[in-house]
Amino acid sequence: MTLSRVAVVVPPRPALFELGVVHEVFGVDRTDDGVPAIDLVACTEVPGVPLPTSHGITMTFAHGLEAAADADLVVAPAYDTHEPPSKAVLEVFRAAHARGAWVLSVCSGAFLLGHAGLLDGRRSTTHWRHAAELAERFPATVVDPDVLFVEDDRVITSAGTAAGIDACLHHVRCELGAGVANRIARRMVVPPQRDGGQRQFIDLPVPDCRAESLSPLLTWMREHLAEDLPVRTLARRAAMSERTFARRFVAETGTTPARWLLGQRLHHARSLLEATDLPVEAVASRAGFGSAALLRHHFGTRVGVSPAEYRRTFSAPAPVRAAG
């Protein structure tokens, strides 16, 4: 596993935020925080020529498509899908995947991978508003409109906008480990892994950002995952009735307290399995599952493998023994 060079292929009329997401995850020097150096290069078909973006801003890129030839990961950012990608751009992605590199799309970048034939026979996703169109234009792919990202045979497709962060951090996590992904996420002030999928964002109003936001409570819950956290306790801490708390929690997180806690506990358990040599029973206790049997049950249901199998695949070569 390696992730030392990333190439983002800038198509005509790219979307600025999604382009920035790729740079923020892979292009910022965080070696002072223990993150391995990653060489990010942005390349385009006609380097040095001003390229208009979808936001009316013009940008110039110094590197041509040949800069992607030795990249470990080649990224397709979101773009205006009404303007089809050129054969030269499509060939960059085909060649990357053929030589064993990974390819990743952000939002509508999935359409570019579809034109390249890289979605054929694979699962994929894109922004929920474009999912039906992606399925119609590329019937050889199975589009899942409910997830934040899909990984299938070295092809990663992400949902809309901020889901690109989830997909990029997922790839960092798989290639460089949970510790590196967590450090990048911490610097970006985002969760290293979000629970749930796109469904929580469809036809839901954006919650009001008022003083009684649950953000401080969510932070406290993450710090007390090993404890029993029934709704009555959480509601009391939030100074709300249980019914009001349950409604507010769904409005602000898109899921129930129980499902949110389960996702956070699974994430913590995965981190402990990767970074320590704690017995599975101790991991279960620290993550708030209470018993190894319960951890195995939820791990098998949500992750698809047992904790022991997960550790064999993702643990560091020399795990650090946790104190206590």
SS3 label, residue 63: strand
Of the pLDDT bands very low, low, confident and very high (cuts 50, 70, 90), residue 317 is low
Structural domains of the chain, with CATH: 5-188 (3.40.50.880), 213-324 (1.10.10.60)
Phi, psi of 235 (to 5 degrees): -65, -40
Average pLDDT, integer, range 45-56: 88
**Mean confidence (pLDDT) of the chain:** 88
Q: What value, to the nearest 5°, has the Cα angle with vertex 272 and ends 220 and 318?
A: 145
Segment 112-123, tens digit of pLDDT: 999 999 999 999
Specify the higher pLDDT residue, 223 or 56.
223
Two structure tokens written together for 4 = 């030392």
SS3 label, residue 7: strand
Please check the confidence at residue 110 and state whether its pLDDT lies above 70. yes
According to the model, what pLDDT value does residue 253 have? 82
DSSP structural state of residue 79: B
Please check the confidence at residue 150 and state whether its pLDDT lies above 80. yes
According to the model, what pLDDT value does residue 215 have? 84
Please check the confidence at residue 200 and state whether its pLDDT lies above 50. no
Please check the confidence at residue 205 and state whether its pLDDT lies above 50. no
According to the model, what pLDDT value does residue 324 have? 42
Please check the confidence at residue 86 and state whether its pLDDT lies above 80. yes
Please check the confidence at residue 204 and state whether its pLDDT lies above 60. no
Specify the higher pLDDT residue, 128 or 305.
128
- Give the distance between the most distant pair of CA atoms in the chain: 61
Of the pLDDT bands very low, low, confident and very high (cuts 50, 70, 90), residue 198 is low
Please check the confidence at residue 313 and state whether its pLDDT lies above 90. no
DSSP secondary structure of 269-323? HHHHHHHB---HHHHHHHHT-SSHHHHHHHHHHHTSS-HHHHHHHHS-SSPBPPP
Average pLDDT, integer, range 189-205: 57
Q: Lowest-pLDDT range, 55-59, 135-139, 258-262?
A: 55-59
Helices marked H in the chain — which ranges?
16-26, 87-98, 109-115, 131-137, 163-176, 178-188, 215-223, 231-237, 242-253, 257-275, 280-287, 292-302, 307-314
